[in-house]
Amino acid sequence: ASPARPAWPRFDGAALRGQWQPLHGPFAQPMAKGAPAPLPEGAQFLTASYTNHAGTRAYRLYVPSAYHGQPLPLVVMLHGCTQDPDDFAAGTKMNELAEKRHCLVLYPAQTGGANVSKCWNWFKGGDQQRDQGEPSIIAGMTCQVCDSHAVDQRRIYVAGLSAGGAMAMTMAVTYPELYAAVGIHSGLPHAVARDLPSALAAMQQGRAAPLGGDVRTIAGAQAVAAIVFHGDRDTTVHPGNGDQVISQCMPPTAAQRTKSAPEP
């Protein structure tokens, strides 16, 4: 018998109101443009969209040639500022890896209407909560792919770069039952900003604590399986943010031991 399907998140939050605040500054630096490699025979790179109370986002979905209806892992890839799914697929070569490793890859697309630089709005309070804003869209999009394709529900992952890395962390915190692990490259912890000034401060200083208390109290999150990459000479997102991300992903007891350890 096939395993019981888990209950997907319910999206019944209030619709977002007000104007989106565009992000300027370091996160808005342009990134390399590119096009994904030609598709192998039998593979697909589909275009679709998802809509809920918080808005609509397009996405690309890579389906490897080895897919014939059997459950495969799913990796959700959140691009950086000024990028789109095609840029991100080209730069990360995730489609080529998915072809070799037999997994589906979902690339959500941020819009210029939501953020003028196409950054995920990780720094806005309305986009840091379960069933609200962009987290509800990305989670709903993930579930939509699970409905349209066979997905191994124990192996759904989320990863991102820069602003996408910060949003990937938010996804892991707000939907821990949906994502088995998170990958963060040059990102920031969850809920260290509520607006543009606090976002820039967190990016530059790299030592901000989650606003309003411990992240596990805020979101009820447990330890999150994670892989974190952050260059120690990063001048855009302070490397201290990588340390903070790791601390946020630890079990509470391990995180407490890390905080109480003496400085070297």
What pLDDT was estimated at residue 57?
98
Cα 130 to the chain's mean position, in Å? 13
Q: Which residues contact 146 (CB under 8 A, 6 or more apart)?
A: 8, 74, 153, 156
pLDDT tens-digit series, residues 46-64: 999 999 999 999 999 999 9
Say what the pTM is.
Answer: 0.81
pLDDT at 61 (0 to 100): 98
Q: Which of 165, 170, 217 lies closest to 190, judged by CA?
A: 170
Burial of 261 (0-12, 13-18, 19+ CB in 10 A): exposed
Which pLDDT value is given to residue 215?
53
Catalytic residue from among 162, 186, 198, 247: 162
| pLDDT per position as a tens digit, 66-106 | 999 999 999 999 999 999 999 999 999 999 999 999 999 99
Known catalytic residue: 162? yes
Sort 104 into a burial class: Cβ within 10 Å, 0-12 / 13-18 / 19+: buried
pLDDT one-digit tens code per residue, 162-172: 999 999 999 99
Q: Would you give the distance in Å from CA 252 to the centre of its chain?
A: 22
Using the predicted structure, report yes or no on whether residue 3 has a pLDDT greater than 50.
no
pLDDT at position 233 is 92
Question: Would you report the helix, strand and coil content of the chain in percent, each value rounded to 5?
Answer: 30, 20, 50
**Reported confidence tier of residue 37, pLDDT bands at 50, 70, 90:** confident
Identity of the residue numbered 83: Q
